[in-house]
Structure 1
Amino acid sequence: MVFTNDCFDLLHLSHINLFEKAKSMGDVLLVTLNSDKSLSCLKCSQRPLSVEKDRAKLLLSLKFIDYVVVSSELRMDILVKDGDYKLP
């Protein structure tokens, strides 16, 4: 099982490339989606632009993604992040 996570508030081509790469690394791709509450803390009070239910439904419509979980924290065996991600 492979997993990646982010807020995915504004889905773009870089995200699609990330999902494709992550899916190629295992049999199942789990995407954890930052909750609305955690997203507004991480980004700004005007976020999210789309509520977590809508963001989850959009992600589940993509062929690379097998499961979506809304969460603040989850640990997996493999975490795949985009190239611009910096450790806190």
Structure 2
Amino acid sequence: MGTELDGRLLAMRQALAIAIALSTRSNPQATDMALELLGDLKAHMHEAPSDSPFEVPAWVAGAQDELDGIARLVRAFTQTPEPGAADA
């Protein structure tokens, strides 16, 4: 069951990334906006203060990892450099 769920999650991640990449590939500004939106979703997934005594729920960390994965795929499909890659 876990392997099937992992496979479905991977397929969903790839489908979403391809949809974003195809819809923004002719416009680098649109790609940047889509990547910024993914970053905002990740950053605001859990609104607890950083000094909160409570741990971040596991689903939040998992969802943030998924958003990172989608953003990496969008960058790969649109040949957009990773953040900080120009600085290196």
The TM-score bracket by the shorter chain reads: 0.3 to 0.5
Higher helix proportion, which one? 2
Task: Give the TM-score normalised by the residue count of structure 2.
Answer: 0.37
Task: Give the TM-score normalised by the residue count of structure 1.
Answer: 0.37
Q: Which structure has the larger Rg over C-alpha atoms?
A: 2
Higher strand proportion, which one? 1
